[in-house]
Amino acid sequence: MFKMNDRFNFNSQNNLFIPFILFIWVMAIPFKNSIYQLTLVSIILSCVFLIIKHKDYSTFKSIITRDKILLYGISLILLSMTVSNAFGLNPHDAFVGQLKFFYKYILIFFALLYLHDKKYFSLKLLTFFILISLSIQAMNGLYQHIISTDVFSDRALQDGGLTGSFSSRNVFGLFMLIASALFFVQIQTKPALNKLMPLMLILFSISVYGLLFSYSRASWVAFASFYFIILFSSKKITTFLVLLVPPIIALTLLLSSENLVLRLEQLLSGSDSGRLEIWLWAFNSFKESWLLGYGLESWSMIEDVPPYRFVHNSILEVALNLGVIGLFSYTFLAFHILRKSIQSQGTAVLFALGIALFVISLFDHSIIEGKLFLPILTLYAAYVIMASLQNEPKQ
């Protein structure tokens, strides 16, 4: 008889409540609603409860301290935030923002590492949850293109492009980038999934369709970076990898609307959609406070701020908010996570996905205050660390 713990390699005797709330949390990330907040708190409190109940303080301490570089990187970011906020333009709101950053992303990060270490869930199970969540978003985008409104929030198309349940085409493009990448990997590297292969091909095609019709050029470039890293690092060049993916995209383009062709022309011609103006302003403003930046929650208070919500470039955003000290801290941690991604799973998949997320952050989304981008980065970083630990030799 099929047992879930056999299939997904976790100890169901521990507690099925943990996998359940983890599933709901992953499902709720795209919606960023009260359910997301509730499950976020539930995961953290469950971790605290289990540590206290089993007096498992030494295990949690070892999880925090066993990767010294990771701990130094996170500590440097929090320290740079503290100093920049103290001398910034909006200290009160900045420290509130830093507190939220700590519990929403740092605490959940270590909670996930602890619960995985204690075998409350496995990477296979987490991957399964992520694929279900992305499938729902991809199919919702297809539904929106057919019906003109999405299933969950009745959102209409935005300038002819897909938004799914999100307020922005670029956010939907981000999720379709990840969906396309992960379904691509399932097809490319999991030939054992013969029975599921037709389903994977369908979901991959829907995800690529959503990616293209999001009109998110940053997402297109990010997926291209992912694809070429996999292409040139793959030891086994399959027919799917070389011969099937480009025709799927090319056929979609040939049969597409004029809007899609126009967006492609804008990408190829280097149209910046106003980003150059933001970047020049951000760089000039950074030079006025280069050491510590302006602190969190300071965007509207900086002189001559342009009429945009954020910088649209992760490097300039960190430099503007946290100065060169914060930029060094973020870079230090990012390089460590990418180095760990190379060590994990014996493939370039996680590294390629990390590069894709970095590429898209150079044009869209906020790496400091992004309510959807930061949970994705947190989940990615936790997944990388968990995967790398599985590959470490036993002592």
User: Per-residue pLDDT for 253 more than 70?
Assistant: no
pLDDT at 192: 54
User: Per-residue pLDDT for 3 more than 70?
Assistant: no
Find out whether 57 and 51 touch, Cβ atoms under 8 Å. Answer: yes
Phi/psi of residue 368, each to 5°? Answer: -110, -40
Residues in the chain: 395
Spatial separation of the C-alpha atoms in residues 336 and 212, rounded to whole Å: 32
40-46, Cβ contacts within 8 angstroms, sequence gap of 24 or more? 40/104, 40/108, 43/18, 43/108, 43/111, 43/112, 43/115, 44/103, 44/107, 44/108, 44/111, 46/17, 46/18, 46/21, 46/111, 46/115
Spatial separation of the C-alpha atoms in residues 316 and 283, rounded to whole Å: 7
Find out whether 328 and 293 touch, Cβ atoms under 8 Å. Answer: no
Find out whether 113 and 70 touch, Cβ atoms under 8 Å. Answer: no
pLDDT at 243: 56
Q: Which two tokens stand for residue 285?
A: 């403003």
| pLDDT single digits (tens) 277-292 | 999 999 999 999 999 9
* Lowest-confidence segment of 70-84, 256-270, 324-338 by average pLDDT: 256-270
Strand locations in 225-319 (E): none
The three-class DSSP label of residue 105 is helix
Find out whether 145 and 213 touch, Cβ atoms under 8 Å. Answer: yes
The three-class DSSP label of residue 118 is coil
Strand locations in 36-173 (E): none
| pLDDT single digits (tens) 68-108 | 999 999 999 999 999 999 999 999 999 999 999 999 999 99
**From residue 8, how far is each of 2, 11, 181 by CA, in Å?**
11, 9, 21
| pLDDT single digits (tens) 145-184 | 999 899 998 899 888 889 999 989 999 999 999 999 999 8
Neighbour tally for 224: CB within 10 Å:
13
Average confidence score pLDDT of the chain: 88
**For 292-310, what is the mean pLDDT?**
90
The residue ranking higher by pLDDT, 296 or 271, is: 296
| Type of residue found at 331 | T
The residue ranking higher by pLDDT, 361 or 33, is: 361
pLDDT at 228: 87
User: Per-residue pLDDT for 238 more than 70?
Assistant: no
pLDDT at 118: 93
Q: Which two tokens stand for residue 383?
A: 């997944």
What is 142-207 written as a DSSP string?
HHHHHHSB-TTT-PBPBTTB--TTSS-HHHHHHHHHHHHHHHHHHHHH-TT-TTTHHHHHHHHHHH
Phi/psi of residue 133, each to 5°? Answer: -60, -45
**Percentage of the residues of the chain whose pLDDT score is greater than 90:** 66
User: Per-residue pLDDT for 193 more than 80?
Assistant: no
Nearest Cα neighbor of 186 from 213, 167, 205 is 205
Spatial separation of the C-alpha atoms in residues 167 and 162, rounded to whole Å: 10
Q: What is the pTM of this model?
A: 0.91
Neighbour tally for 8: CB within 10 Å:
18
Spatial separation of the C-alpha atoms in residues 183 and 177, rounded to whole Å: 10
* Lowest-confidence segment of 28-37, 261-270, 346-355 by average pLDDT: 261-270
